[in-house]
């Protein structure tokens, strides 16, 4: 897991308030600014705009992708922040993710990041001993349907290094548009269970994964095909956690997850390709 920085008044173990973030402020501040930037960069590849819902337990982001074939579900726990104040009720902050990313591109790794909510704008501050930067972004009124997240009770679960998964996807991306996951309950002659296949107009590739590089639970017989473009988008978030989890079930979308601290997560649900 990445190392997170939580800055408190150590003597009293309480948040620090100052002229940049007072007790009356609504929003949050964090020294985990680079990691927060990585989360927004991940979202920017998938969604155009979304609601950041500041709930008492943390920030929740739930949104369909631009093509409506994938769903991103992100939860950042309040412990990620040194100050976190949704106060009386939940706050929904509608943001254009691309514009937010343009602002965060000016963020340096040692900047402290502050978000302060107003009725129709979001004030963003970068605090550094050398400078202070102040931005303002207009909020959007984003209406979205309630999206239900199904529980995966009988899926095959695979834990794999995130960078390794990205390298696997890179091996397929130049071959074709889709990759097929073949999972078998039975072990082959080399004590392996998982194969990936991809074919293009002129060539094809088949990869058998070594079980020693994976942690696998609840093996089932599964045969599903998924978009490589979407898998590539998810794999670009490999810096969010050294490890990732794959949940695959014949009757559900593919579930790909990075863990954030102890209780947070960034999860991507991808519908399988339906053959004509």
Tell me: the pLDDT tens digits for 134-164?
999 999 998 776 677 878 888 999 999 999 9
167 falls in which pLDDT band (50, 70, 90)? very high
Query: Is the domain of 179 the same as that of 119?
Result: no
Q: Is 152 left (phi over 0), alpha (psi -120 to 50) or beta?
A: beta
CATH of the domain at 221: 3.70.10.10
Mean per-residue pLDDT for 35-43?
A: 97
Query: Is the domain of 86 the same as that of 40?
Result: yes
Sign of the four-CA dihedral 78, 130, 38, 116: positive
59 falls in which pLDDT band (50, 70, 90)? very high
Query: Is the domain of 186 the same as that of 214?
Result: yes
The closest alpha carbon to 246, from 255, 234, 238, 237, belongs to 255
Asked whether residue 2 carries a pLDDT value surpassing 70, the answer given is no
Asked whether residue 90 carries a pLDDT value surpassing 60, the answer given is yes
Query: Is the domain of 33 the same as that of 134?
Result: yes
Mean per-residue pLDDT for 33-53?
A: 96
User: Looking at residue 108, what is its pLDDT?
Assistant: 95
Query: Is the domain of 166 the same as that of 116?
Result: no
Mean per-residue pLDDT for 253-262?
A: 96
Query: Is the domain of 120 the same as that of 207?
Result: no
Containing structural domain, residue 91: 27-138
Whole-angstrom CA distances from 208 to 99, 104, 165, 180 are 41, 40, 13, 12
- Beta bridge partners of residue 227, listed in sequence order: 178
Domain assignment of residue 172, yes or no: yes
Asked whether residue 65 carries a pLDDT value surpassing 70, the answer given is yes
Percentage of the chain surpassing pLDDT 70? Answer: 92
User: Looking at residue 190, what is its pLDDT?
Assistant: 82
Tell me: the pLDDT tens digits for 100-137?
999 999 999 999 999 999 989 999 999 999 999 999 99
3-class DSSP string for the chain: CCCCCCCCECCCCECCCCCCCCCCCCEEEECCHHHHHHHHHHHHCCCCEEEEEEECCEEEEEEECCCCCEEEEEEEEHHHCCEEECCCCCEEEEEEHHHHHHHHCCCCCCCEEEEEECCCEEEEEEEECCEEEEEEEECECCCCCCCCCCCCCCCEEEEEEHHHHHHHHHHHHCCCCEEEEEECCCCCCCCCCEEEEEECCCCEEEEEECHHHCEEECCCCEEEEEEHHHHHHHHCCHHHCCEEEEEECCCCCEEEEEEECCCEEEEEEECCCCCC
User: Looking at residue 7, what is its pLDDT?
Assistant: 52
- CB of 246 closer than 8 Å to CB of 157: yes
Query: Is the domain of 111 the same as that of 164?
Result: no
User: Looking at residue 10, what is its pLDDT?
Assistant: 43
Percentage of the chain surpassing pLDDT 90? Answer: 76
Query: Is the domain of 120 the same as that of 76?
Result: yes
User: Looking at residue 189, what is its pLDDT?
Assistant: 78
Number of domains within the chain: 2
């Amino acid at each position: 897991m990445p190392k997170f920085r939580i800055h408190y008044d150590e003597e009293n173990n309480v948040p620090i308030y100052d002229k940049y973030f007072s007790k009356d402020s609504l929003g949050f501040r964090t020294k985990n600014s680079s990691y927060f930037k990585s989360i927004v960069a991940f979202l920017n590849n998938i969604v155009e705009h979304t609601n950041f819902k500041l709930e008492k337990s943390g920030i929740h982001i739930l949104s369909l992708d631009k093509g409506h074939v994938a769903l991103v579900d992100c939860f950042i726990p309040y412990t990620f922040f040194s100050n976190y104040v949704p106060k009386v009720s939940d706050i929904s902050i509608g943001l254009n993710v691309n514009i937010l990313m343009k602002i965060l591109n000016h963020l340096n790794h040692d900047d402290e990041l502050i978000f302060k909510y107003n009725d129709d704008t979001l004030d963003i501050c970068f605090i550094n001993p050398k400078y202070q930067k102040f931005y303002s972004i207009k909020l959007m009124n984003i209406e979205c349907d309630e999206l239900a997240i199904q529980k995966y009770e009988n899926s095959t679960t695979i834990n794999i290094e995130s960078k390794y998964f990205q390298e696997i996807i890179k091996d397929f991306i130049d071959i074709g548009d889709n990759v097929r996951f073949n999972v078998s309950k039975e072990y082959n002659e080399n004590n392996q269970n998982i194969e990936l296949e991809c074919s293009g107009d002129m060539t094809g590739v088949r990869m058998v994964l070594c079980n020693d590089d994976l942690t696998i639970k609840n093996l089932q017989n599964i045969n599903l095909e998924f978009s490589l473009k979407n898998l590539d988008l998810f794999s670009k978030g490999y810096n969010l956690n050294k490890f990732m989890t794959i949940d695959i079930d014949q009757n559900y979308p593919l579930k790909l997850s990075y863990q954030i601290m102890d209780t947070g997560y960034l999860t991507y649900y991808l519908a399988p390709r339906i053959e004509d």
